Structure 1
Amino acid sequence: YHQDDYCTQVQSWTNAIPIGLGLCPWALKSRYQGRLQYITCHGNTPTDVQEMVEEHCQILCQAPLWSTCLLICPFVTKWQDDFASFDAFVRQLTTRPENSSCDNNEECRSQITFVAFHPQFLRWRGLASHLTVGSLVHSHRSVGLQKSHERYPARILETSNRMFGKRKIKVQFLSNDLPQSTEILDSPTTTLSDVPTHVQQQQTRKDQQYVSIDWLEDPDMLGPALLDNEMHQSPYPTIHLIRNADLGTLSVRSVSRVKRQNARRMMQWEGSSLAMAQEDSK
């Protein structure tokens, strides 16, 4: 594949941000092996991109360890300024319609993880400024490995931490006998001191969880976009195709360590513009 200007720009960004900041150990390993490809899709419709994704899934399924590619999609007009549309496309790559048979393409796709990068990438927001430790919110909770269907009343214990940065907060879910319609929970400035003592005393450690801020699902609870989004803001809409076999080479403990390191880096980061300037000066 010809290394055009689109590839060059995305490669410079990758070297500065995901690799340069140590955010993606898989991309770093692929680069060391000389197996990190940058490929421009010249199609201008999602169908064109889908066909190219299928082609490269087939290639990666047969490729050596640490083979990966960044598929750059600059020509689909509706994706250029619309992250939500592009993100929806990337997400559907991992789904299969009900009652459909699994063909060879789908079998290969099931062995690949797809990661979205986009100039307007926006997935993570901080807490609204009026929320702090002790504030009461409604949030989904973890039920096994799933997200609950309902939201439950909870109080905030931590607004940031070394493991998840500012993407998650630590909450303590309150007793089920405190309904969501309770007036004290409808106030954005409610704190623990507003909760009856007998309700506070019913809480135990098992009711404490780290939850994603977007689980609050209330626009009034969401603050400004986090810097974390910038590590996915590539020059053009881009899909990273990663072999699951390579992702599985890191233990759960190692993956957790990478996430903690990334959270700390994002909390101390001065932004992508500085990182790109430093890369250009090399």
Structure 2
Amino acid sequence: MTDSDPVIAQVERWLQDVVVGLNLCPFARKPMRAGQIRFVVSEATNDAVLLEELLDEFQVLDRTPLEEVETSLLILPTHLRDFHDYNFFLQEAEWLLKRQGYEGVYQIASFHPHYQFAGTDPDDAENLTNRAPYPILHTLREESLERGLQNYPDPDSIPHNNILRVESLSDDEKRALFPYLFS
């Protein structure tokens, strides 16, 4: 798929406006500006196919120098639209990571339009920190993550700062940044 794909365009806008714009991930700006983020639209309609696609992403990162592709976003426009199904699938994704020997090499970050942290209500603002236009499996290189964390003054403050940031958004700002939640 190309950057003109509407699914990719929507995810790129979310990255620019929410993740980078609100500074929810202080490490995202550099690879985004450098064009080092790989966007892949999944065609999976079941978990087995999605696991194959995820393994393919690990292998693409294996073959591609960090300078070309630092991270990968596997976007799921049709599969795992239910958050509980998605959350259950994350266990399978972690199992794949370990079984294929990628533990300590890659890490999977999760995003979903209906993301809900344990112990929160669906409408709690902190859930916005992981809400995206589509379910996404974000494969990060551990090497990049460790380097970013070493150079960040207080990495433990990131989640708390993110919660404060999204809690400070007005209703109009939320509608503008997360239009897919209000349609």
TM-score range for the pair, normalised by the shorter chain length = 0.7 to 0.9
Q: Is the 8 A contact 2:128 2:166 kept in 1?
A: no
Provide TM-score, normalisation by structure 2.
Answer: 0.80
Per the TM alignment, residue 266 of structure 1 is displaced from its structure 2 partner at its CA by 2.6
Q: 1:224 to 1:239 in 2, by over 3 A?
A: closer
Asked which structure has the greater CA Rg, the reply is 1
The CA distance in 1 between the partners of 2:130 and 2:157, in whole Å, is 20
What does 1:201-216 correspond to in 2, within 5 Å? 214=119
Q: Report the counterpart of residue 146 of structure 1 in structure 2.
A: none
The match for 2:48 is 47
CA, structure 1 residues 119+92, in 2 after alignment: closer, same or farther (shift >3 Å)?
same
Shift of 1:109: 5.2
CA distance 1:223–1:86, change in 2 (3 Å): closer
Distance 1:254 1:92, change over 3 A: farther
* Candidates 132, 135, 158, aligned match of 1:237: 135
Write out aligned runs for 1:134-149 (5 A). none
Higher fraction of helix: 2
Counterpart position of 2:162: 262
Structure 1 stretches of at least 4 aligned residues deviating more than 4 Å after TM superposition: none
Closer/same/farther in 2, CA of residues 73 and 224 from structure 1, 3 Å limit: closer
CA contact 1:16–1:276 (8 Å) conserved in 2: no
Structure 2 counterpart SS, 1:57? helix
Counterpart for residue 77 of structure 2? 74
User: What pairs up with 1:1-282 in 2 under 5 angstroms?
Assistant: 1-3=1-3, 4-62=5-63, 63-65=65-67, 67-76=70-79, 79-80=80-81, 82-95=82-95, 106-108=100-102, 110-123=104-117, 214=119, 225-249=123-147, 250-251=149-150, 253-270=153-170, 272-275=174-177
Structure 1's unaligned 5+ residue stretches are 97-101, 125-213, 215-221, 278-282
Q: Distance in 2 between matches of 1:224 and 1:51?
A: 31
- C-alpha separation between the residues in 2 aligned to 1:109 and 1:56? 14
Pair 1:86–1:16, CA change in 2 (3 A): same
How many angstroms apart in 2 are the aligned matches of 1:32 and 1:264? 26
Q: Greater strand percent: which structure?
A: 1
Residues 223/258 of structure 1: CA separation in 2 closer, same or farther (3 Å cut): closer
Cα deviation digits, residues 121-160 of structure 1 (max 9, x gap): 1125xxxxxxxxxxxxxxxxxxxxxxxxxxxxxxxxxxxx
Residues 129 and 163, structure 2, Cα contact 8 Å, conserved in 1: no
Structure 2 gaps of 5+ residues are none
Q: Is the 8 A contact 2:117 2:127 kept in 1?
A: yes
SS in 1 for 2:170: coil
Paired residue secondary structure (1:21): coil
Q: Are the structure 2 counterparts of residues 110 and 23 from structure 1 closer, same or farther at C-alpha, using a change threshold of 3 Å? A: same
2:138 aligned counterpart, secondary structure? strand
Partner SS, residue 18 of structure 1: helix
Give the TM-score of the pair, scaled to structure 1: 0.54
Q: Write the deviation string for residues 180-206 of structure 1: whole angstroms up to 9, x where unpaired.
A: xxxxxxxxxxxxxxxxxxxxxxxxxxx
- Secondary structure of 2:154's counterpart equals helix
Q: Relative CO higher for 1 or 2, CA cutoff 8 Å, sep ≥ 6?
A: 1
Q: What SS does the corresponding residue of 1:2 show, helix, strand or coil?
A: coil
Provide the rounded CA distance (Å) in 2 between the counterparts of 1:239 and 1:41: 10
- The CA RMSD over aligned residues, in Å, is 2.6
SS in 1 for 2:16: helix
Identity of aligned residues (%): 22
Q: When the two structures are aligned, how many residues end up with a matched partner?
A: 172
